[in-house]
Amino acid sequence: MRKYFLILFILIMAGNAGAQKTLDYYINSGIQSSPLLKDYQFQVQNNKIDSQRLRANFRPLVNGSTAGTYAPVVKTWGYDGAITNIHTYNAFVSVSQTIVGKQNLNNQYLAIQLQNLGLQNQGKISEQDLKRSITQQYITTYGDLQQINFNQEMLTLLKEEEAILKRLAEKGVYKQTDFLSFLVNVQQQELLIKQLRIQYQNDLLP
């Protein structure tokens, strides 16, 4: 499952660099990039080739071969034509076909078809698992991001409030002890955001 999350992580990082991508985008990209699904497709294609090869093996096979000899005679030097016949040529052609019962052949085709159906079913199951994994991780990561954004907005408001309370504390309108307590709350909020960012990174790549 880790390879699925790695694919999702790469896609999310690419999405952060550009326009916001939808869940469908990540699912489609994950399916297209899945080596497991590609392997199932490759095996199905191989079985189709095996089916064609099986069909070809039970068709007539034609074999041919030729041979020739030539005995040259230059002036009075050479081989006696009465013995060698000067030249000879021969050719051999054969046709063969494997005889097999139709039921036997159909059984072999059926075995290949059943294997393909099994691979296709496994591919569909793996695709559904991949979709579910990407969806779950997308929801989890999106929730982390929403928490970061919310708490970041809270920190921004606290920073604005801090600037106001600081001026009031300097003028003696606001107690220094209360202001220090407020600063502690601001630091806690900053720490919370750091923790949320760590959680976000962990959920991006479990």
pLDDT 10s digits, 113-148: 888 888 888 888 988 998 898 888 888 888 999 999
Same domain? For 48 and 139 the reply is yes
Same domain? For 73 and 113 the reply is no
CA angle 75, 78, 84 (to 5 degrees): 125
Same domain? For 88 and 118 the reply is no
Same domain? For 167 and 200 the reply is yes
- In this prediction, residues 57-82 reach a mean pLDDT of 64
Q: Are the CB atoms for 36 and 126 separated by under 8 Å?
A: yes
- pLDDT single digits (tens) 156-203: 999 999 999 999 998 888 899 999 999 999 999 999 999 999 998 888
CA atoms within 13 A on the CB side of 171: 7
Cα distances (Å, whole numbers) of residue 180 to 95, 158, 160, 171, 186: 101, 13, 15, 15, 10
d(CA 180, CA 198): 27
Count of domains for the chain:
2
Please, what's the largest Cα pairwise distance for the chain? 137
User: Residue 156, class by beta-carbon neighbours within 10 Å (0-12 exposed, 13-18 middle, 19+ buried)?
Assistant: exposed
Residue 83, token pair as written in the block: 């013995």
Same domain? For 142 and 48 the reply is yes
> Residue 61: pLDDT above 60?
yes
d(CA 102, CA 108): 10
Same domain? For 87 and 140 the reply is no
Residues across the chain: 206
Q: Are the CB atoms for 100 and 59 separated by under 8 Å?
A: no
Q: Is the dihedral of CA 171, 176, 180, 185 positive or negative?
A: negative
Same domain? For 78 and 165 the reply is no
Residue 71, token pair as written in the block: 């005995």
Q: What was the pLDDT predicted at 164?
A: 92
Same domain? For 133 and 33 the reply is yes
Q: Are the CB atoms for 43 and 111 separated by under 8 Å?
A: no
Q: What was the pLDDT predicted at 24?
A: 87
Same domain? For 66 and 114 the reply is no
Query: Residue 159 belongs to what domain range?
Result: 2-58+100-204
Q: Are the CB atoms for 201 and 137 separated by under 8 Å?
A: no
d(CA 107, CA 51): 12
Same domain? For 91 and 40 the reply is no
Same domain? For 65 and 17 the reply is no
- pLDDT single digits (tens) 12-50: 444 443 335 788 888 888 888 888 888 888 888 887 777
Residue 172, token pair as written in the block: 């003696």
Same domain? For 37 and 72 the reply is no
What pTM value is reported for the model? Answer: 0.56
Q: For 174, which DSSP code?
A: S
CB count within 10 Å of CB 95 equals 9
